[in-house]
Structure 1
Amino acid sequence: MISSEQVVQTAKSIAAIQQADGGVPWPEGHVDAWNHIECLMAMSVAGLTDEVRQGYAYLLRHQRPDGSWPAKLQDGEPLESNGESNHAAYLAVGVWHELLVTGDEDFAARLWPAVKLALDYVVGLQTDRGEIVWERDARGRASDYALLTGCSSIHQGLRCGVALAERLRDPQPHWELAADRLAHVVRAHPEAFADKSRFSMDWYYPVLGGAVRGPEAFELLHRDWATFVVPGLGIRCVSDQPWVTGAETCELVLALDALGDQGRARALFGDMQHLRHEDGSYWTGWQFANRKHFPHERSGYTAAAVILAADALQGLTAAAGIFRDAAAPAAPAAPATNPDACGCTPARA
């Protein structure tokens, strides 16, 4: 474990890269909404409220009328204008997290119109079967395929949106239905998603995002544990390279914590601490065949994942359970409105 003082030090390493306009960039210099929000969540854990609120103001300035954000922004201008569904969905996670940490319902109410726009953009990309395609391009055309990691994260976004809607007394039942349908497809229809199975995120994200829990989740993680986990170092980013990454390792920590598997969660969290820099920041990854940091950078999103994992394991804030709570309250066998839309029947599901 790292101490609360080390958590603050790490959060300050994120604040140190935050730009004057409030954006939290990748090492390459661009901002995307998903990683930006993750960094805001991490700084909130450490009590850096001013920096966090500047970051949400940045999101409000750059949200488009359809509810999306450009996939990449640099110096306030779009580098890539497509709008990714998982980016839009993560605003609900961030705002719900901020409300849990601070109790500031006025802040949540100010962000609520943006959350509604964003999640309605997301559910507008849901197919008849239930998966949510990954983007609209710069001309507004929906993609023709979905991503398992993205949809798993979207599932958490929809669940957080439902919780936020209930708290603010503005129910959005269509989001809950969309989440139920999406969870079913994640659990039962691997053919719905583009094959990205070499990436560890496609392995554990269905658990992290709450679509898969219980015995099925343990079985899923057991299946590829030896493929991705490198004892003493963390987990691989991709199955075919000798490269462990801190963010993916800490996300697996969060998934294990969500299942109550504290032993393996804590062990993995300890294993990845070799990536910690003396200033509290974290190297993105370690190429263990060449014994070099790769890429040669320290990333805000890696530091953010460490802080969120530390919060989950140590209960530093009232938002420590935000990943545990992403699971569906009930797991319907098939989409409630049209059981045959995905090609299943309840008896077979």
Structure 2
Amino acid sequence: MTTAGSRPDRTERLVLPGVLTAEQAARTVAGIAAGQREDGAIPWFRGHHLDPWDHVEAAMALDAAGEHERAEAAYLWLARHQNPDGSWYAAYADGDAEAPTDRSRESNFVAYVAVGVWHHYLSTGDDAFLDRMWPTVFAAVEFVLGLAQPGGQIGWKKEDDGTERTEALLTGCSSVHQALRCALAIAEHREEPQPDWELAAGLLAHAIRHHPERFLDKSRYSMDWYYPVLGGAVTGAAAKERIEERWDDFVVTGLGVRCVLPNPWVTGGESCELALALWVMGESDRAVSILQWIQHLRAENGMYWTGYVFADDAVWPEEQTTWTAGSLLLAVAALGGDEATTAVFGGERLPSGLEPDCCG
């Protein structure tokens, strides 16, 4: 891989008034790249752990900034270190594949590789890469669907001893829904139909839209509020109604989005993801405002603090994560019309699966 460096010429498409200049974007990209190991792994920051979902998010941000070699290295790390059952562990110390610190295997962590791989292909047009990664994506999806429940929801995880945690998380399942649609896009591009995946995607979307009782109650968390929209299961008037219903609960004007109620804590990742969800709904002005608000989390080195406790006027925790910076870059890329990013989050060209004839 090339060394980390500031490349404003690659980040001109990431300019957003009040959020990023090309030079600022280049510093943020360089910050993510500096956190990446030589083997391609992207931990939260050096010395912290890597989880597969946030690793992919950071890789997608690198692709959005034109750092395709680094993004490819991140995906090849996943291909090299995939478990025999198609999964990855939930956490690896400093991104060291030989040092897993949480040996459970979470369904949404495993599924997200499909989003990243399709995003990289759309960013590069590299069919050889897609061919190389197809077995990895296929095995990952099969592992995830092994946790599918009769109602369409996907069980949370499989423990190290093989015990299946069949309770389902709405946020995680919404992310899995997006991943299944991207996996279907890859299969369609390869002309390898996967009818079981289509059925699973449709059943999952139906559960998210119509059966909240099939998921654990995590309504205190803002992710459960916006992720059904961000993951593409809830759209149109239903999406707008959902977001408006709890806007005042989670959005702190001028500061960002709370992570969890009632804590007086706004976080960069949740704020950027809500901005992406708003963009998906066609509300770009509100999305831009939120991204402008959270610039108080930007550090001098171009990275972003994870969160801010406004009751105490304190940054907390005192960490700058690759995935927080990555979420900001992806939101800006979507707002700027980056084709690959708009495709995987906008969803208009993604297969939607086969929704069951149910519930009237």
TM over 0.5: yes
Pair 1:176–1:148, CA change in 2 (3 A): same
Counterparts of 1:227 and 1:53, CA distance in 2: 39
1:260-290: per-residue Cα shift (whole Å, max 9, x none)? 1111111111111111112211111111111
1:29 aligns with 2:48: yes
Which of 24, 30, 54 is the equivalent residue of 1:6? 24
**Match of 2:90?**
71
The runs of at least 4 aligned residues of structure 1 exceeding 4 Å deviation read: 326-332
Report percent identity of matched pairs.
48
TM-score, scaled relative to structure 2: 0.90
Q: How does 1:70-89 map to 2 (within 5 A)?
A: 70-74=89-93, 75-76=96-97, 77-89=99-111
1:130-174: per-residue Cα shift (whole Å, max 9, x none)? 100011111222113010000000000000001111112212121
**Match of 1:53?**
72
**Match of 2:153?**
131
Q: Which sections of structure 1, spanning at least 5 residues, go unmatched?
A: 340-344
1:2-60: per-residue Cα shift (whole Å, max 9, x none)? 23333232111011111233211124611110000000000111122222122112111
Contact 2:50/2:91 (8 A) holds in 1: yes
Q: Secondary structure at the match of 2:147?
A: coil
Counterparts of 1:156 and 1:5, CA distance in 2: 32
Q: Secondary structure at the match of 1:140?
A: coil
Contact 1:156/1:326 (8 A) holds in 2: no
CA RMSD of aligned residues (A): 1.6
Q: Which sections of structure 2, spanning at least 5 residues, go unmatched?
A: 1-15
Deviation at 1:124?
1.2
Counterparts of 2:24 and 2:180, CA distance in 1: 32
1:20 aligns with 2:38: yes
Counterparts of 1:330 and 1:58, CA distance in 2: 29
Counterparts of 1:331 and 1:346, CA distance in 2: 17
Counterparts of 1:86 and 1:124, CA distance in 2: 13
Deviation at 1:201?
0.4
Size of the aligned set, in residue pairs, is 338
Contact 2:181/2:353 (8 A) holds in 1: no
TM-score, scaled relative to structure 1: 0.93
Deviation at 1:90?
0.3
Pair 1:326–1:80, CA change in 2 (3 A): farther
Deviation at 1:317?
4.5
Between 1:169-178 and 1:125-134, the stretch displaced more is: 169-178
Between 1:244-253 and 1:269-278, the stretch displaced more is: 269-278
Pair 1:329–1:161, CA change in 2 (3 A): closer
Q: Secondary structure at the match of 2:216?
A: coil
Q: Secondary structure at the match of 2:50?
A: coil
Counterparts of 1:49 and 1:327, CA distance in 2: 23
Counterparts of 2:291 and 2:348, CA distance in 1: 21
Counterparts of 2:121 and 2:24, CA distance in 1: 24
Q: How does 1:1-349 map to 2 (within 5 A)?
A: 1=16, 2-27=20-45, 29-74=48-93, 75-76=96-97, 77-325=99-347, 335-336=355-356, 345-347=358-360
